[in-house]
Chains A and B, each alone.
Chain A
């Protein structure tokens, strides 16, 4: 574990990729001619977050208070050499793990929950609203809200709510208030339940409910992925990794991570885009949610109800209800516009892995590293294993972002046994 001088590793600025993209990013647009869905952002998103969303600054200073909270929750996270995994795979290069599961809430989501909650409270908010899939984001929001003396209300996608009852306990322990989505608390939820009382829900639906609830109750809304500002906050992963590699005298040649909305992946790889070397970057998604191979690149809504603006991205359609795989965090129809653009122009490659292969990868990983990784991260691990097996003599230094730990997702192994 690399824990030399934490203050040297923890960056004091976030990196925003917008001004370094090869093409201009298409702005969010409203479906109707009145741009109401764009104006709505002004009401539910803290002004400072909006500024960061549309920033022209390449670097944004991390407020001192946020840096202090980052330290409290376990940043910087470790960079670990997975020597036994290299042996197991007979891989000639090095495999390094950036372990975001090492934060107190167990995933990278806390990296953006803290600044979003901080700015909301700075602007006078006493309560925040959000959605969560697997529960990692909701957990991060619940803690970040409490750390900033606020309450939180969390709409949790029904399949995950049912699959992971302990998640709810954790969020409540951190001070959050959790509801299953679709819920009776919003018109959108009521409408869906009337049509299909057994709806498993989806992230798109939960986002719609959270936004409707925020608007109705005049609260600030926090979004866990997709937005530029979120990817900028997550750049702390890549910036720390770069510093840690530099201290170790290593150079990354392959970067691998998983993609739901694209925040841990973008945050991890974007700070490396301008490196002189042609680093291979591979985004791993679920075969069950094949957004990069079967999705369309164009404008689509962020949420299922179409309350929020449209973004230009890869999407399977805002109405797409993903199959109920365990990787709740990957059950989303779209992906961040900046990441979508870089996948489309070929700078970033993509890979798709199905659940059975992920379960197997998680087992091998646990037995060689001791880490019980989140199912979402299991996709990145499986892609890394494919890479190692395909290129055993490659000798390339691979850095793998392990976005979270999976202690609450152990029921994934019930289906197949150990």
Chain B
């Protein structure tokens, strides 16, 4: 099972982020998802929301370019996570700018929910810049909508476990995995948005999931600049996913 890690660009600051990415690259991480700070990261949980606030002041294009370059040179693929609400005013120039950064694709968590009516236009703007879309769907995405964007899209699908963050829904991962498979078919699915602990990771691995993404759980290490704890956690994850 592949491992994706989520970081907010510029959090807690550019140096600490670099150190963490270094540890990630030495510990078998296959993909990194980099969140562009947004003033309204509305579909993230309270903890990730806070990172956006802090990161706003630290973000720099040059730092992002360097990060993606370094990740790529270690064989790690990088993906941009972007809230459309923060770039919609100048979408084309934003996409043009990041198209040269070296990202392997883009994740737009608010596309289906808040920009559904303009979706086709946004998809063609991405195509024009040669940027792959990684569809982000959740348990409450209607079947027809999920099937459509999946047919339009790229290599893998990001499946959010929680329909809305903050709610501790007593889902059965098995049921959820079955449902995701039924809609997505044989394309690669990455489960994330709500993965918190090792037993969940082990269960997804046993169910046959292709990949997982971890985000909020890393914040406790980032906040305290605890690269040692982060490394130990990655080692645990690696055991659970192999």
Contacts and interface: CB of A to CB of B under 8 A. Distances in A.
A327 to B, nearest CB: 32
Contact of A35 (B46, B144, B179): B46
Interface in A18-68: 18-30, 33-35, 38-39, 41-42, 47-48, 50-51, 54-57
A50 B169 contact: yes
Q: Which residue, A23, A30, A38, has most C-beta atoms of chain B within 10 A?
A: A23
A51 B170 contact: yes
A41 B139 contact: no
B164 A42 contact: no
Helix, strand, loop or mixed for chain A's interface? loop
Please indicate which of the listed interface residues A23, A24, A34 has the most CB atoms of chain B within 10 Å of its own CB: A24
A56 B168 contact: no
B169 A19 contact: no
Nearest to B140: A18
B165 A26 contact: no
B66 interface: no
A27 B143 contact: no
Contacts of A27: 43, 113, 140, 163-164
Contact of B163 (A22, A33, A47, A54): A54
A178 B2 CA distance: 57
Interface in B96-142: 112-114, 116, 139-142
A11 B50 CA distance: 46
B114 A42 contact: no
Contacts of A19: 140, 142-143
Interface residues of B, number: 30
Interface string B34-57: 000000001101100110010000
B145 A24 contact: yes
A349 B180 CA distance: 33
Given A35-B46, A51-B171, A30 B142 contact: no
Interface in B169-220: 169-171, 175-176, 179
B179 A56 contact: yes
B112 A38 contact: no
A56 B142 contact: no
A20 B168 contact: no
B140 A24 contact: yes
A41 B167 contact: yes
B166 interface: yes
A63 to B, nearest CB: 16
Contacts of B112: 24
B116 A24 contact: yes
B139 A54 contact: yes
Contacts of B50: 33
Contacts of A21: 142, 145
Given A24-B112, A33-B46, A33-B49, A42 B167 contact: yes
A338 to B, nearest CB: 10
A50 B167 contact: yes
B143 A35 contact: no
B139 A56 contact: yes
B8 to A, nearest CB: 14
A270 to B, nearest CB: 13
Contacts of A48: 170
Nearest to A27: B164
Interface in A175-231: none
Contacts of B141: 24
9 contacts: A20-B142, A20-B144, A24-B140, A24-B145, A29-B164, A35-B49, A51-B169, A51-B171, A56-B163
Pairs of residues from A and B, 7 with the lowest C-beta to C-beta distance, nearest first: A27-B164, A56-B139, A38-B166, A35-B166, A54-B163, A21-B142, A24-B112
Interface of B: 42-43, 45-46, 49-50, 53, 112-114, 116, 139-145, 163-171, 175-176, 179
